[in-house]
Amino acid sequence: MMQAQKAKVDAQLEQIRGDLLMETTKGATPGFDYNTNHFYMQFGQWIAHDIIHMPSSVGPKGENLDCSSCNSSFITDNCSPIFIPADDEYFPSKENDIEKCMRFTRALNAQDILGERIQINQNTHYLDLSVVYGSDNCEAALVRSFKNGELKTFDNGYVLPPQAKQETRRVNIAQYQHHVYSEYLPKVLGDPLMRQFNLKPRTKGYHTRYSTSIEATLSVEFAAAAFRFGHSQVRKNLPRKMAGLKKVDTFDELKNDSSIDDANVEALKKVYADVNDIDLYTGIMLEKANEGGSVRSHHNNICYLKWYNIYFIISFQIGRTGGFIIAEQFSALKRGDRFFYENMVRRTRGLLHDELKAIRQTTLSKVICENSKQTKIIGKNIFSV
């Protein structure tokens, strides 16, 4: 139960993972979208750092583990070194006639009972700007000045009431959540998944589908694979079935399925002996991104310069399997968080109607324009080129 997953046939998946990069860079189909800018990636990483923090395993006294030795996995289950092939183009496979491996320290285990190994998440699981305010009281105290309701980074000379910090925090989190659901997720998932999981923000009124039975805890599939954090050792075909894709048992069936380009299937076939051995992260990243239609990008005078239009083809950033996992998780983060900005839950102080209306009028472009002295022009669609 503590060991890394094994292949269906006589092969070590650790070795397969070491070979995979070499094969997928030889003629495989790239999946780069020229319609999105670098800030799109950065904002996604900001979200990930807000809700995900998987620390590496350590030794008995809290010391860092040395997992560079090829035999380190025999010393501790927390090491899973990756063997370097003799024909590797980038790394030497031996040093002084001693076999070399790539260091790989496994994430800290979250459980102390029998069952599959699951990573621990040391961040709060909610979209609560923990990257700014911290995930616990100790971290929150470190960033506060405890003077005039300010953070230590403030330098505005204004005297604020003591409650200003919490009020500002509440409004900032609400704006942040609105930007995630109104601007970022539609670019990732596309309209069908946004509608299927009821992720689109309302234009008026409150969201009424909060439920105490919804578990907002991040799934392993989301945190370790679909949101591009680490590699996953979870079930392979089940996420495809959940996403409405046909279960495949052979590489030929995967080709006929058309969810992955033939060139990428051939690359996978060279390093995986069985289609069920394909890592979830690898499959997600090689899936064809969902396609949309032609839209217009508006670059307007939000920063006091002239505006112009650009037409481009929507290319969503994730395929069906990864999209389903991400949409499902953000649905849980919305429906399972009683403090979510659109929720009005009994005995919980939510946003007033006027406050919610003001939040819905904000955009990420406007936030950057109002808080950046260097920015002179910016697109209304903040993530598009």
Closest C-alpha to 342, from 214, 201, 211, 217? 201
Phi, psi of 202 (to 5 degrees): -75, 155
Using the structure block, give the residue that is written with the tokens 């031996």. Answer: 94
Give the pair of three-digit tokens for residue 62. 């809290």
How many Cα neighbours within 13 Å face the side chain of 49? 10
Distance CA 364, CA 367 (A): 5
For residue 315, what is the DSSP state? E
State CA 61 to chain mean position distance. Answer: 31
Give the pair of three-digit tokens for residue 343. 């929720």
Using the structure block, give the residue that is written with the tokens 């046939």. Answer: 9
Closest C-alpha to 46, from 124, 151, 127? 127
**DSSP H/E element including 99:** strand 98-99
Phi-psi region of 148 (alpha: psi -120 to 50; beta: other; left: phi over 0): left
Closest C-alpha to 226, from 20, 25, 52? 52
Distance CA 192, CA 198 (A): 10
Give the pair of three-digit tokens for residue 374. 């260097």
Contact (CB, 8 A) for 156 and 168: no
Contact (CB, 8 A) for 93 and 15: no
Q: Is 231 annotated as a binding residue?
A: yes
Q: How far is CA 314 from CA 13, 185, 224, 283, 323, in A?
A: 36, 13, 27, 22, 15
Binding residues for heme b: 231
Binding residues: 231
